[in-house]
Amino acid sequence: MADNRCVVEIPVGHGYIEGTIVAPQTTIPGVLFVHGWGGSQEQYIERARQAAALGCVCLTFDLTGHARTKSELETVTRETNLSDLLAAYDTLAQHPLIDRHSIAVVGSSYGGYLASILTTLRPVRWLAMRVPALYLDEGWEMAKRELHRQHDLVAYRQQIVPASENRALRAAADFRGDVLLVESECDQIVPHTVLASYLQAFLQAHSLTYRIIDGADHGLSDEASQRAYTALLVGWLGEMIAGYRTGSGGAALAQGAR
């Protein structure tokens, strides 16, 4: 594990001698999990438990319009949900054990879309996105439910979208941390062209890992797909955290502090 070093002057009879205090690094990485539209934090508790076993502090939460606030599902906006994500990030970052320069954000579908945008507003070192969605920038303050009625999202997601034309993709283009991008082979909601748009955008990423889960649908509805994704995610997080602890994790934090 990396350590903290401090040069000290040790008083002696004729003046001082030099020394170096070497102390263990006491802070640890944090991992924030963001569920997709119609989901809840319960879907990520087990993955958070496994990530915590790697030596992280993890936070799962319910976006407004879900779980206890499901009555707001028809009216909640992307702006409100992004505010939820910012509040959750800030809560995690304030934990006394957290290294605020080593926070991972894990998002699925709508949660992945929001997670990409988050990187322009808060420091994120590691970004894991499973089947991240894309939405048109127009109607940002419109009810999220209404987007599916007002916009032809099916057609939009079947084309390669330039990073300059989409807020989440612009964020991806600016991101310089490490990225895990996971596609479902049989996804009928977020097709390959959406993943291709993100892949095209992440040109400045410190590292980019791209995987396809064979036979998986959008929601990972079978146990084999769930296990495959969990193994991918935990394995990648383990690799990133190992690099962090050995001091070889790279300079991967340029976002969110501009």
- Is 99 inside a domain boundary? yes
Q: Note whether residue 7 is domain-resident.
A: no
Assigned domain for 10 exists: no
Tell me the chain's radius of gyration from C-alpha atoms. 20
Give pLDDT, residue 215: 97
pTM of this prediction exceeds 0.85? yes
pLDDT of residue 203: 97
Determine, yes or no, domain membership for 251. no
For residue 256, the model assigns a pLDDT of 53
- With respect to residue 50, please indicate whether it lies within any of the assigned structural domains: yes
Instruction: Specify the number of domains making up the chain.
Output: 1
Q: Are 91 and 153 in contact (CB under 8 A)?
A: no
Q: Is residue 218 part of a domain?
A: yes
**Per-residue pLDDT tens over the stretch 193-233:** 999 999 999 999 999 999 999 999 999 999 999 999 999 99
Mean pLDDT by 10 residues, the chain (258 residues): 73 82 80 94 93 94 93 96 95 93 97 98 98 97 94 97 98 98 98 98 98 98 97 97 78 46
Reading phi first (left if > 0) and then psi (alpha if -120 to 50, else beta), residue 212 is in beta
pLDDT of residue 21: 76
* Residue 21 belongs to a domain: no
| pLDDT at residue number 3 | 62
Q: What is the CATH number of the domain that holds 236?
A: 3.40.50.1820
pLDDT at 258: 37
Residue 257 in domain:
no
3-state SS record for the chain? CCEEEEEEEEEECCEEEEEEEEEECCCEEEEEEECCCCCCHHHHHHHHHHHHCCCCEEEECCCCCCHHHHHHCCCCEHHHHHHHHHHHHHHHHCCCCEEEEEEEEEEECHHHHHHHHHCCCCCCCEEEEECCCCCCCCCCCCEHHHHHHHCCHHHHCCCCCCHHHCHHHHHHHHCCCEEEEEEECCCCCCCHHHHHHHHHHCCCCCEEEEEEECCCCCCCCCHHHHHHHHHHHHHHHHHHHHHHHHCCCCCCCCCCCC
Residue 141 belongs to what domain range?
Answer: 27-246
